[in-house]
Chain A
């Protein structure tokens, strides 16, 4: 049955997310973009909301939300600033994967203390670039014999966050069966090379989200059975679902940021006068803004479809995930670009946040973009 009616909980998630977005996130965003660190009050407010680093009650958390609710929450937060929320989400992304697929012992080991923030969650080494979706990952995790596993490959865009982590959780595949696997690897192991992609002290090391302290991780190590997430291939499907959900998170955040940019530009266009009237009266200005809204709405529905399929108990990651990810990023980059355009010369300046949101949308899209899902189209 087709039904878009939100229940009370979902509405409350959106409302609370918006409050945090327009409060601590919005206040922290400008400085965070420049100073490479995020205001503590903002970090606390976002994490206490419970959707950027969700953990189960067993390890002191408030439980794992549904994928749909998590998308609602992150879109609402991203409305405040996609950069800040992107950093906090990417650097905590392993929590959901461990919570969904880890053994009880692994959850205890890796997630205890995360909920009350006495320790940081281990970074997640997920992305590989080159348009690869998880089913194409070349990072291999294969049985080495005697209950040991070899992990070999390269991961990019690993958000290390503030701390220098002792371990990272690497997502890979069995090259033969294609099953997804994940393994904890020690960064101190000689077979692990963890390279900051830019000098972490350098300002604005990336187009945006530099506070994530991105690193490239090269791995060629052998780990014990205890370090294989879930302990075996029984969790392969669950891992596929968790990874799919994790890929949707930046898309939801980018969607939120792009909608904020669209609204900001629309308000500006209504108030700005030129050639004798509000510039919104000119269809050359208002139609692109309307198109942005249409594209973002369509992308949100695509995102919700993918999330709801995950919630409906998909045995493995649905095909709709990659489509949703790419559609959200395409709509967001277009909307933020048009937002700058609407503001004219003002749009280029840091006095208005749209230039930051443009950089954030471009940055987030670069993490997980597959040329097979969107054809190049020259904007007109």
Chain B
């Protein structure tokens, strides 16, 4: 028996269907959601997807649930063949085609909203039952503060116990879907000055959000404009005691780290997926303009395309390795930091190159290329930017060689 770096036949078939969906339906509405800067629940898009679950939701499912949510797979397919049932590997495989048409739509699917996974990771059974039902909800995670982005130990929002309640104060910034969500997970410290040890996670529902001060209703940003990012301030916001996820003794950062660990490999593929779609689109555009290029330029561009796909597949394989380690119950901290360190940067350089190949036309709104140039830049920041991943990788290297 040898190793395999390929998806099973069944998985590959499902990937093809997902790719078709992304190119047809996700792309169909891409300009609309970019221009209107909203995240509409478009039934045609959701109903048309061969998957009823987002890659970030795979880890939330039992095996039989996955079959239910992969409409085109029958139980017999799964029984007789070889669907990758490591949810993390499966999610990376599926994330590859999901954004090739355009990157906005998969977040509409079950589990595309991040907070459910967070509660499932560290919540009490009662909390999981209450907040993580089957119905589709829109949820959000409010971690970032003005002074604290990647370094969550620097969180300054406070939560103070007051009888049967918590009283929250402080400001959260750039929170995706903060004002549209049914509920949010919010990180605050119960012990200012204690760093990460003091951080806890809380559930804030829509009624609570009506009591906060909206400081910025919609941030004006370069890409991923379908996601509205808002900033808000809490002034003595009172929430019930049982909203502390996992209970008062469970550190919120542990939940955040579990959430990151489960999803970072998947999110590493987001940029490469956009970039692969971009290469495919550019190739197709080039085919219509073949006569406009000299042979020398044509050959160089196509050699570049081969190189681009190689590098993007490198990134995806690094992500798959990290996911596979996670599915195997092994630590993937180092592997996933490697994947996330390189994947978005590979993707950015590919998309920019494709824009330049298309020239002036690529920069106009007649095509989605200019949107992808804006969107792809966002993928680096999701779940920890590449600089921080390199720092993690370097620290692990040091630790290993020091001992």
Contacts and interface: CB of A to CB of B under 8 A. Distances in A.
Chain A complexes with chain B:
yes
A149 interface: no
Contacts of A366: 355-356, 358-360, 362-363
B235 interface: no
Interface of B: 144, 147-151, 153-154, 173-174, 219-223, 289, 292-294, 296-297, 300-301, 304, 307-308, 311, 342, 345-346, 348-350, 352-353, 355-366, 370, 373-374, 377-378, 380-381, 385-388, 390-391, 394
Nearest to B357: A371
Contacts of A130: 289, 292-293, 297, 359
B304 A198 contact: no
Interface string A201-235: 01011111000001000000000000000000000
A333 to B, nearest CB: 6
B354 to A, nearest CB: 10
A198 B364 CA distance: 7
B220 A206 contact: no
A303 B147 CA distance: 40
Contacts, number: 166
A275 B394 CA distance: 15
B355 A157 contact: no
A355 B376 CA distance: 12
Contact of A206 (B174, B221, B365): B365
A362 B365 contact: no
Contacts of B391: 282, 284
A344 interface: yes
B279 to A, nearest CB: 11
Contact of A378 (B350, B365, B370): B350
Given A282-B391, A371-B300, A345 B381 contact: yes
Contact of B297 (A206, A285, A351, A371): A371
A282 to B, nearest CB: 6
A367 B361 CA distance: 9
Contact of B364 (A197, A288, A355): A197
B361 A129 contact: yes
Contact of A131 (B293, B346, B380, B381): B293
Contacts of B144: 345
Nearest to B345: A379
A266 to B, nearest CB: 14
25 contacts: A129-B361, A130-B293, A156-B359, A197-B366, A205-B365, A207-B370, A207-B373, A214-B364, A274-B150, A344-B381, A344-B385, A345-B149, A349-B174, A349-B219, A349-B221, A351-B219, A358-B222, A363-B363, A366-B356, A366-B362, A371-B297, A372-B297, A376-B353, A378-B345, A379-B346
A274 to B, nearest CB: 4
Interface in A345-380: 345-346, 348-351, 355, 358-359, 362-363, 365-367, 369-372, 375-380
The 3 closest A-B pairs by CB, nearest first: A129-B359, A350-B220, A376-B304
Interface string A318-348: 0000000000010001000100110011101
Interface string A164-176: 0000000000000
B359 A375 contact: no
B363 A284 contact: no
Interface of A: 127, 129-131, 136, 138, 156-157, 197-198, 202, 204-208, 214, 273-275, 282, 284-285, 288, 329, 333, 337, 340-341, 344-346, 348-351, 355, 358-359, 362-363, 365-367, 369-372, 375-380
B377 A358 contact: yes
B286 to A, nearest CB: 9
Of the candidates B293, B363, B385, B391, the one having the most CB atoms from chain A within 10 angstroms of its own CB is B363
Contacts of A131: 293-294, 297, 301, 357, 359
B237 to A, nearest CB: 23
Given A130-B359, A274-B151, A333-B352, 20 more contacts: A131-B293, A197-B360, A198-B365, A204-B365, A205-B365, A273-B147, A274-B148, A284-B391, A337-B377, A340-B377, A345-B381, A348-B221, A349-B219, A350-B222, A355-B221, A363-B363, A366-B360, A371-B297, A372-B297, A376-B350
A67 B297 CA distance: 29
A207 to B, nearest CB: 4
Given A131-B297, A333-B352, A206 B357 contact: no
A131 B370 CA distance: 18
A157 B352 contact: no
A31 to B, nearest CB: 13
A367 B360 CA distance: 5
Contacts of B293: 130-131
Contacts of B356: 329, 365-366, 369, 371
B223 A348 contact: yes
A345 B216 CA distance: 15
Contacts of B154: 273-274
A274 B149 contact: yes
Contacts of A376: 304, 307-308, 349-350, 353
A372 B296 contact: yes
A285 to B, nearest CB: 6
Contact of A367 (B307, B359, B370): B359
A287 to B, nearest CB: 10
Contacts of B342: 378, 380
A379 B357 contact: no
Contacts of B361: 129, 156, 197
A207 B363 contact: yes
Contacts of B308: 376, 378
A346 B342 CA distance: 21
A378 B311 contact: yes
A127 B362 CA distance: 14
Of the candidates B346, B348, B359, B385, the one having the most CB atoms from chain A within 10 angstroms of its own CB is B359
Of the candidates B222, B311, B355, B378, the one having the most CB atoms from chain A within 10 angstroms of its own CB is B222
Contact of A348 (B150, B296, B378): B378
Contacts of B390: 284
A341 B304 contact: no
A33 to B, nearest CB: 10
A206 B370 CA distance: 7
Contacts of A344: 149-150, 381, 385
Contacts of B352: 333, 337, 362, 365
B387 A282 contact: yes
A198 B366 contact: yes
A362 to B, nearest CB: 5
Contacts of A369: 356-357, 359
Contacts of A345: 144, 149, 173-174, 381
